[in-house]
Structure 1
Amino acid sequence: MATAKRHDGSERARARGRQGGRGATPFSSPAGDFLAMTCHEIRTPLNAIIGATDLLSATSLTQEQQRYVKLCGSAGENLLRLINDLLDLARLDAGRFSLDCRPFSVTAVLRDCCDVLGAAAHAKNVTLSWSVHADVPAILMGDPGRLRQVLLNLIGNAVKFTDRGSICATVSRTAGETADGPGGAEGAPVELLFSVADSGVGIPSDMLARVFDSFTQADVSTTNRYGGTGLGLAIARSIVQLMHGRIWVESEVRRGSTFQFTAQFGRHEPAAPAQDAPARPATQQRLLLRVLLVEDTPDNRLLARTYLDGHLVAEAEDGAQAVEMFRAGTYDVVLLDMRMPVMDGFAAARLMRQWESDRGLPATPIIALTAYAYPDEIRQCRDAGCTLHLAKPFRRDELVAAIAACHCGGTDDFAPSHPHERSAATAHATRAPEARPERVRVRVDRSLAAIVPGFLEHRLADVIRLEDAIASGNFAQIDAIGHAMKGTGGGYGFPAISDIGRRLELAGRERDTDAASQCLRDLAAYLSSVEPVYA
C-alpha cells in the first residue's frame, strides 16, 4: 500500500541558500534584468488590449463575435498572469520584494478566494468548502494581497488537479498559540496555520522534493494537460518565508494532496484620529467629478477617458502641461502617469503638492498610474505626494475603486456611468452550519467581485477609526466616516452599510455618543457576518 509523503519547501530553500543563494534563474544575470524591464514595458500596451476587450464585450455583438472577444480576453488575462509571475520572481531574485502592513480580515480573504474559484470547482462537480477557527482574530495587521496570492495559488491548483471529490481550506492558530500570542507573550505576533486539502491526482514521491522549485511541474504531460509555468508554488514559498512562516506538502498519488503553511501577522492597534482638513474652495459635492488625466500614450488616454465617461475629463500629455493645468483649474482627482517625456510624474506631483502647500490648500487626490509595480517604485510615488498607486493594466472597476478610496466624496459623487453597474442588491439572512455563526448572504453583481473584498476591508478599518473617534469625542470624524459609508455602501451592493452610514452621520452631527456607539456595534456585527454572493 502506498503511503503519503511529506516535503517541506522552506527547508529545501534554506538548504539551497546555504549552498550559495537561490541558484541560477532567468533573472540572475544582466540579460535577466533586461527581461524584467521588458515584462514591465509589456504591461502598458497590455493595459489597452485588456481594457479595450472589456469595453468591446459590453457592446452589441453576434454570438460568434462574443466568442472571439472572450478568447481574446482570456488570452490577455493569461498573458497578464504570466507577466505578473515573472515580475514577482524578478523582485524576489533582486531582493526587492516586500510586504504591505495594514488592517485586514483573514476570513474575508479566504472567503474571497473561495468565491473566485467556486465556479470552476462547481463546473467540475467538486465540492469547495472553507472554515476559519473561532480563535482567529477578526482583524490582523499584514499584507492581504500577498496572502490572497498564496491562497489563490494553492486553492487554484487544488481545483485544477481535482476531477472529483472535495477541496477544503481551513485557517486556525498554530499549536502552542494562545490568546496572547506564542508562549503567552502579550503583543507577540499571531501565528496562523493555513491548510488546503484535496482529493485530486496527488504528486509522485520522486517529485515532492522539487515541487516548490521554479519552473517545475510533475512532468511534461502535466504542462500539456493543465497548463501553467510552474512558478506559482515557488513564489508562494518565498512569500510565506517573508511572512516568517514555512510551507510543506503531504501527498499520495490518486489520493490527493494537503498543502499547509504557517504565517505570522501583527495585532492591530487603534489608529490616531484623522484631522479634519478645510474644504478646498470651489470643490463642492456634485454628481460629476473633474478629473485631470495625465498620460503620454494616446491609446491609454482613450481607454481612461472611456472608463470615465460621464465625468469632466481634462487631458495632459506630459508632466509640465499637467502642472500648468493643475494651477489654472480645480480638480477632484488627478490620474498621473509616472513615466512621461518632458517632465515625469514624480516631478509633476511634487510641484502640485508644493503649489497647494504654498496656498494652504488641502491635498488633491493624485493616483499614480504606472506599469512598474516594484515596492520601491510605489514608495517613490508616495514620497512624491501621490495618494494611491494603480498598476497597469487596470480595469474600469479598479479605477473606480481607486478614486472612491481617495475619499473624493464617495460613490455618491463618483457614480458609475452605466446604470446596470449599480447593484439593486437585496440581503437575506440564512442559517449556516452550526459550526459557523449565522451569516448574512448578500447578492452582489458579479462585475464587482474584484473590488468588493477591498471595500469590506476598508470598512473594517472604519471600525478601528470609529473606536478612536468615539473615544476622543471627535464628532466631525464620526460625521465624515458616516457620510463616506452612506455614499459607498449601496453602490457596492451593501445597502445595510449605507443605512448604518446615514445613522452614523446623523449621530456625528447631533453629537450623540450613544447612537454612534450603537452604529459601531451594528457595523462590526454586520462585517463579521456578511457574505457576498456574486451573481
Structure 2
Amino acid sequence: MLKSLQVNIRAKIIVGYVFIIICLGLSLLVVSDRVNSLQKEVDFVSKHDIEVHDLLNLVQKNMLDMETGMRGYIITGDSQYLEPYDSGSRTWLDNYNKLHQLLDDNPAQQRNLEQIKPTIQNWVKNTGEAMIKAKTDNNQKAINDFFSQNNGKKVMDQLRTMFDSFLITENKLTVARVNQLAESNSNLRIVLFSVLGIISIFAIVVALLLSSSITNTIKQVIRTIKAITASEGNLKTRIEVKTNDEIKELAEATNDLLASLEKQSWVQIHLTEVATLYQGINEIKLLSETFVSKLAPLLNSVYGVVYLRQNIEGHSHFVRTASYAAAGEDPSANSFRLGEGIVGQCALDQRIFLMDNLPENHVKMTSGLGVSVPRALLVAPIMVDGHTEAVIELASMQPFQSQHLTLMDSLQEKFGSAIVNVRSRMEVERLLSESQMLTEELQAQSEELQAQSEELQMQQEELRMTNEFLEEQNHFSEQRALELKKAKDELEEYSLKLQTSSQYKSDFLANMSHELRTPLNSIMILSQMLAENNGDMQMSEVVDYSRVVYAAGNDLLALIDDILDLSKVEAGKIEIMTDEFNVTEMPQLMKLMFDPVAEKKGLDFAVLLEENVPNVMLTDGQRLQQIVKNLLSNAFKFTEQGSVTMRIALAEPSRVQELLHRDPEEPVLAISITDTGIGIPIDKQQVIFEAFRQVDGTTNRQYGGTGLGLSICREFTRLLGGSIVVKSEVNKGSTFTLYIPNAPESDQEEHMTGYPAGEIAATGEHAEIVTIEALSSEFLDLTDESPVSEAIKSDAQLFQGKKILLVDDDARNVFALVTALEMKGVTVDVADHGKQALEILQAQTEYDLVLMDIMMPVMGGYEAMQAIRGQLMMKDLPIIALTAKAMKSEKEKCLEAGASDYITKPLNMDQLFSLMRVWLTKQVKKR
C-alpha cells in the first residue's frame, strides 16, 4: 500500500512517529486524570491530617504551659511564671476553634472535640484562676486544701485521656486514607502499564511496516552492488530501483559514482600503459613517435603531430618531431614560435585548446577506401616545472570525451619529465663522447709533458744539490767563524776570571788560615795545659779553659759550616724545603737570639712587624731564618754604637715588578735590617756579595770573618726566588732589604737534591773537633758552679748501671763518648767495627742500648745493624746510629738497616742523652 502511494522515506518515518505521538498523547491524558485525582487525595492527607495533629498538639501545649506557669507562680510567687499561663490562656481557644473548623468533614470527631472544651474551661476557672487568685491574696490555706484534694491533677488527667482518645481516632482515619491512596496508586500503575503495552504494540506494527518498505529497497541496492563487485570489477553494471524515494536517489548517485570510477579506471590503465613506453628510450625522436603512436588510438584520433621546444637563435621554437597517420604531403607546419598560431598560443598560455566542427579543408584523414574529414581538434601543452617543453595536436572524427581530456592532462607532466630525462641522457652521452675524445688528446699531451717534466726535474735536482752544497759550505764557514770568535772571547773572559779568582782564593786562603789557626791555637794550648795538669790547677781555671776550648770549637764549626754551605751552593746541592712558615714568630725568635748581643755591645735592638703582613708564607723557613740571622750578625758586628732595627713589611708593588718581575699584586715579604755602623762604600756594595770577596780582604781586618756570609745569603735568596738590596753610606750605616715571594704550591715539593737543611757532613779531621767540642760541653755541664739541674738528678736513676755497647773505630770519638757516658754512671763496652760488635753481642746479650757508627773498617754500620736484627734476632734492642754522613736519605737508610733512631755528627750531647732517655725508658717499661 505504501509503495503504491509513492511515499518517500522521510514521509514514512514522520507518519510512524506522528502515530506513536498521538497514542502517547491519549495515554498521557488518561494517566494525567488519574494522577490529578491521586494528587488531590495526597494533598488532603498531607495538609488536613497533619494540620489537625499540629493544632491538637498546640492545644495540649497551651494547657501544659498554663499548668506549668500556675504551679511555678504558686511555688515561687514570681509573676514571671505567669507569662506562659497568660500566653496559653489567650491562644488555646483560637487553636481549638481552628481545629473544630478543620473537622467539618467529620462530625464524629467534632463531637469528640466539643467534649474536651468544657473540661478545659472548668480547669481554667476552678483551678488556674482560683489558685492564682489565692496566691495573689496570699491565701495559703486555700492552696494547701486544693493540693491536698488534688482536684487539678484529676482534671488534667481527664484532659490527657480525652486528647489521647481523640488522637487515636484521628490516626485511624489517617491510616485509612493512606491505604486508600496506596490502592489508588496501584490502580494507576495498572492503567499506565496497560496503556504502554497497547502503544508499544501499535508502535511495533508501524515500525515493521515502515522498516520493511525501506529495507526491501536498500536490500535491492545491496544485491546490485554485490553483483557489480562479484563480476570482477565490471564498472559498466548499473543499479535499477523502482521506488520513488531516497533509495532511488542513492542508486542514481551510485550509478554516477560507477561512471566516474569507470572513467578514472580507464584513465589510470591507459596512463600506466603510456608511461611504460618511456623505458629504455634514449633518443628524443623515437620517444615522440612512440608517444603519439600510443596516445592517438586511445583518444580515437585519426591524426596527430608532436612539436618539441628548441632554441633557435636565442628564441624558443616548437619544431615538428613526430606525426601519426600522415599521408602524402604532411599539411602540418614544421615549426611555430611562442605565441604563433594555436600551437604557439597553447605553449604560451599553457592550457588545452579543444575545438569542434572543424571546416572541411582543415585536415583530411586518408585510408584505402577514401578520404574523411575530422570534426574535433585537441591541442595540449606538455609542461615540466612550469615550462612548456612540447605541444601535441590531435584530430578526431568524434568529439573528445571527458576521460580523454583527463588522460591528456595526466600525461602532460609525465611526458614532459620523460622528454627532459631523454634529453639529459642524450646530453650526457654527447658530453661523455666529447670527454673521451678530450681525454685521449689530454693523455697524449700529458705523456709529452711528462717526458719534458722529467727532464726539467733532473736539471732542477742537479741545481738544487749544487746550491745546497754551496749554502752548506757558506753556513759552515760562518758558524766556524762565530765559534772561533766566541771561544776566543770566552777564553779571554775565563782567563780574566781565573786571575781574579786566583787572587780572591789566595786572599781567602790567607784569611781562612788566620781564622782557623786562631781558635785552633787556643784549643791546642789550653788542651795541652789541661793534659799536663798535675793537680796544681784550680777548678775555676779548668772551667775557664774548658769554656775557651768550647768557644773555639764552636768558632771552628761555624767556619766549617760556612765553607760547606758555599761549596754546596756552588755544586747545586742545596735543597729548598717549601712549607708554611709562621712570619709572626720571627720577631720573638730574633729578639731572643740577639738581645744578649745588643745588651753586651750597648746597642738598641728593635723588631717591627707591620699589620698588613700575612701570618703565614710558603717558603723555606730555615733558609730564610739563616739569611736573616746572617744579616743581623753582620749588622751587630759592624756597629759600635747606635742601634740595629729589623722591619718586616709587605714590599711595594713597584719594587716587586722591578726586582722580581712578578705580578705587582702578589704578596712579597720585605725584611729590612738597618744599622748605624761603619757603612759600605758605593764601589764595594756589589763586591761584598761575591764569593771570596770582602770590603777589606787583608788578614789585618778590624772585624774579622771569612767574607762568605753575604755570598751564602745571596745564593740562598736566589734559591728562594727573592732578591737582596743594599743601601749604605760610609760612617752612617747600612740597610739590607731582603725580598722573599710567596712560593707557589707546586714548589712545595723538593726541587733540588743534596744535603738536608741544617745538617753538615763531617768526616776525618772534622770528627776530632766534634769530640773536643762534645767533651768540653759535657765537662762544662758537670763542672758548672751553678746547682745541678733536675734533669741530671733524674738521669742518675735512669742511666746508673745501664750497659751500652759503643761501636766506633775513631779513638777520639770513643774517648769523648766513653768519658761523657761514664760520668752518667753508664757501663760502656767498645767495639772497633761491626764484626767485633756481633761477636760481643753473641757472647753477651744483656746490653741496654747500642751506639753504632756507620763508616767503619771490616764491617760497616749498615751491615752490622742488619745482622743484629736478622742473624742475632735482636729486634727489641735499641740501636742509635751515629753518622757523619749528612745526606738527606741517610736517616731513611739507617732506619731501613735496623736502627731505632738516628743522630748526626758533630754530636750534641744533650740531644744524644735525650734520645737515650727515650729508648732506655722504653726498655724499662718492657721489663
Task: Please report the TM-score for the alignment, with normalisation by the length of structure 2.
Answer: 0.32
Query: What is the aligned partner in structure 1 of residue 199 from structure 2?
Result: none
Q: Residue 164 of structure 1: which of 616, 636, 641 is its match?
A: 641
Counterpart for residue 73 of structure 1: 550
Q: Which residue of 2 aligns with 1:373?
A: 886
Q: 798, 806, 810: which is aligned to 1:287?
A: 798
Identify the match of residue 836 of structure 2 among 321, 324, 327.
321
Tell me which residue corresponds to 1:256.
733
- Measured at CA, do residues 329 and 376 of structure 1 come closer, stay the same or move farther in structure 2, by a change above 3 Å? same
In structure 2, the CA distance between the partners of 1:211 and 1:220, relative to structure 1 (3 Å rule), is closer
**Shift in CA distance, 62/321, structure 1 to aligned 2, threshold 3 Å:** closer
Question: d(CA) in 2 for partners of 1:155 and 1:325?
Answer: 52
Q: For 1:202, which of 668, 676, 679 is the aligned residue?
A: 679
Runs of 5+ unmatched residues, structure 2: 1-489, 657-661, 749-796
**For residues 79 and 364 of structure 1, do their structure 2 counterparts lie closer, same or farther at Cα, with a shift above 3 Å needed?**
same
For 2:881, the aligned partner's letter is I
Say if 1:27 and 1:90, in contact at 8 Å, map to a contact too: no
Distance 1:97 1:25 in 2: 27
1:128 aligns with 2:605: yes
Change in CA separation of 1:137 and 1:220 when aligned onto 2, cut-off 3 Å: same
Q: How far apart, CA to CA, are the structure 1 residues paired with 2:834 and 2:579?
A: 31
Instruction: Verify: 1:306 aligned to 2:819, yes or no.
Output: yes
Match of 1:90, SS?
Answer: helix
Call closer, same or farther: CA 1:291–1:174 in 2, change over 3 Å. farther
Is 1:336 aligned with 2:847? no
Counterparts of residues 516-535 of structure 1 (less than 5 Å): none
Aligned amino acid, residue 74 of structure 1: A
SS at match of 1:196: strand
Partner residue in 1 for 2:38 = none
8 Å contact from structure 1 (residues 332, 364) kept in 2 = yes
Q: Distance in 2 between the 1:324 and 1:102 partners?
A: 46
**Higher mean displacement: 393-402 or 83-92:** 393-402
Note the C-alpha offset of 1:239.
Answer: 1.7
Percent identical among aligned pairs is: 32
Is 2:916 the partner of 1:400?
no
Q: Residue type of the partner of 1:99?
A: I
Q: Which amino acid letter does the alignment assign opposite residue 807 of structure 2?
A: V
1:226 is paired with a residue of what secondary structure? coil
Q: CA–CA distance in 1 between the matches of 2:847 and 2:618?
A: 34
Q: 1:138, CA displacement in angstroms?
A: 5.8
How far is the alpha carbon of 1:408 from its aligned partner? 3.6
Quote the offset at 1:251 in angstroms: 1.3
SS state of the match for residue 639, structure 2? coil
In the alignment, the residues of structure 2 paired with residue 198 and residue 106 of structure 1 have an alpha-carbon distance, to the nearest angstrom, of: 22
SS at match of 2:702: helix
Q: How many angstroms does 1:192 deviate by? A: 3.3
Give the Cα separation in 1 of the matches to 2:689 and 2:664. 33
Q: CA deviation at 1:128?
A: 1.7
Deviation at 1:232, TM superposition (A): 0.8
- 1:205 deviates by 0.3
Tell me, in whole angstroms, the C-alpha distance in 2 between the residues paired with 1:70 and 1:298.
Answer: 23
Give the letter aligned to residue 347 of structure 1: E
Q: Secondary structure at the match of 2:734?
A: strand
CA contact (8 A) 2:882 2:905 kept: no
Aligned partner letter, 2:817: A
After superposition, the C-alpha distances for 1:376-424 in whole angstroms (9 at most, x for unaligned) are: 65665566455665343333224235556xx5488x999xxxxxxxxxx
1:86 aligned residue (563, 569, 575): 563
Provide the C-alpha distance between the structure 1 equivalents of 2:807 and 2:648, rounded to a whole number of angstroms. 44
CA drift of 1:241 comes to 2.0
* Residue in 2 that maps onto 1:233: 710
Distance 1:409 1:103 in 2: 35
Higher relative contact order (CA 8 A, sep 6+): 1
Instruction: Give how far 1:116 is off.
Output: 3.0
* One-letter amino acid of the structure 2 residue matched with residue 306 of structure 1: T
CA contact (8 A) 2:878 2:899 kept: no
1:431-446 to 2 correspondences below 5 Å: none
Shift, 1:133, TM fit: 4.6
| Residue of 239, 245, 253 corresponding to 2:722 | 245
| AA partner of residue 601 (structure 2) | K
Spell out the pairing of 1:36-55 with structure 2 (5 A cutoff): none
Q: Report Cα offsets for 1:464-522 as digits up to 9, x if no partner.
A: xxxxxxxxxxxxxxxxxxxxxxxxxxxxxxxxxxxxxxxxxxxxxxxxxxxxxxxxxxx
CA contact 1:159–1:167 (8 Å) conserved in 2: yes
SS at match of 1:197: strand
Is the Cα–Cα contact under 8 Å of residues 368 and 386 in structure 1 kept in the other structure? no
CA contact (8 A) 1:295 1:340 kept: yes
Q: 2:596 is matched with which residue: 112, 119, 124?
A: 119
When residues 313 and 158 of structure 1 are mapped into structure 2, their CA distance, relative to the original with a 3 A threshold, is same
> Could you report, residue by residue, the CA deviation over 1:343-363 in whole angstroms, capped at 9, with x for unpaired residues?
12233344456569x88x579
Which residue is equivalent to 2:171?
Answer: none
Aligned residues: 350
Tell me the secondary structure at the aligned position of residue 635 of structure 2.
helix
Moved more, 64-73 or 208-217: 64-73
Assess, with a 3 A threshold, how the Cα gap between structure 1 residues 349 and 132 changes in structure 2: closer, same or farther. Answer: farther
- Aligned to 2:686, what secondary structure does the other structure show? helix
The residue number in structure 2 matching 1:461 is none
The normalised TM-score by structure 1 is 0.53
Match of 1:522 in 2: none
Q: Does the 8 A contact of 1:335 with 1:369 survive in 2?
A: no
Contact 1:331 1:364 in 2 (8 A): no
Cα distance in 2 for residues equivalent to 1:213 and 1:256: 21
For the 8 Å contact 1:191–1:265, the answer to whether it is kept is no
For the Cα contact (< 8 Å) 2:848–2:877, is it kept in 1? Answer: no
Cα distance in 2 between the residues matched to 1:365 and 1:144? 31
AA partner of residue 858 (structure 2): V
Residues 65/400 of structure 1: CA separation in 2 closer, same or farther (3 Å cut): closer
Mapped partners of 1:387, 1:134: distance in 2: 46
RMSD: 4.9
Q: Deviation string for 1:238-283 (max 9, x for gaps)? A: 12222222222121112211112233468899xxxxxxxxxxxxxx
| Aligned pair partner of 2:624 in 120, 141, 147 | 147
Distance 1:323 1:135 in 2: 61
Q: What amino acid sits opposite 1:344 in the alignment?
A: G
SS at match of 2:863: helix
**CA distance 1:137–1:335, change in 2 (3 Å):** farther
Q: Which amino acid aligns with 2:721?
A: H
CA pair 408-249 structure 1, distance change in 2 beyond 3 A = farther
Decide whether aligned partners of structure 1 residues 214 and 384 sit closer, same or farther in structure 2, where only a CA change above 3 A counts: farther
The answer (yes or no) to whether the contact 2:717–2:724 under 8 Å persists in 1 is yes
Q: Secondary structure at the match of 1:302?
A: helix
- Contact 1:202–1:251, Cα closer than 8 Å, also in 2: yes
SS at match of 2:567: helix
Higher helix share: 2
Higher strand share: 1
In structure 2, C-alpha distance between the alignment counterparts of 1:202 and 1:287, rounded to whole Å: 55
Once residues 156 and 89 of structure 1 are traced to their aligned partners in structure 2, the CA distance between those partners, rounded to angstroms, is 18
1:478 maps to which residue? none
The residue type paired with residue 673 of structure 2 is V
Separation in 1, partners of 2:809, 2:731? 54
